[in-house]
Amino acid sequence: MKNSFEYIEKLINENNVEKALDILNHNPDRSIWFQNARAVCLMRLNSPGNAVKTLTSIVYPNSFVMINPDAPDKIKLNMAEAMLLTGNVAGAVKLIENSPQDCPLRNKLETAIKKWKLSLPFWSRLAITLFGTLPYDRPIAVERPYGVI
């Protein structure tokens, strides 16, 4: 029971993230759902860069630049959230655009991006609008809790 996915999910939902991550780190299961849970824990423990590393092989297998069409949307959006938290806005937007419109996590991330854009100086907003350039080094504030199981 203590290594089961349901138990880990319960710990995360109860905000006992450190314990959940400890169990995940000692669990030999490397399935995508355990990796996703690990990434959620890492984001919630303010380590989004490690969350990106954890999910990269699932979302971008074999280090390709193309998104894995078989990767579950929830995992792609968790990676997008981790990317926003690390400042890779362009990479996050690409993942968000390839996710279902009616997904609550997509809506949360799009709202964070809209708020961020509105906080920028006029000329920066104009550059984004005209040239579509998005930064790779400016973390964006996203509403907590981070990630979904």
What's the pTM value of the predicted model, to 2 decimals? 0.91
Strands (DSSP E) found in 87-141: none
Question: What mean pLDDT value characterizes the chain?
Answer: 92
In this predicted model, what pLDDT tens digit does every residue of 48-105 receive, in sequence order?
999 999 999 999 998 777 899 999 999 999 999 999 999 999 899 999 999 999 999 9
Which residues have a Cβ under 8 Å from the Cβ of 138 and sit 6 or more positions away?
Answer: 87, 89
Q: How is the chain split into domains, by residue range?
A: 5-131
φ, ψ of residue 148 to 5 degrees: the values are: -130, 145
Which residues have a Cβ under 8 Å from the Cβ of 96 and sit 6 or more positions away?
Answer: 77, 80, 106, 109, 110, 113
CA distance 87 to 105: 18
| Domain 5-131 bears CATH identifier 3.40.50.720 | no
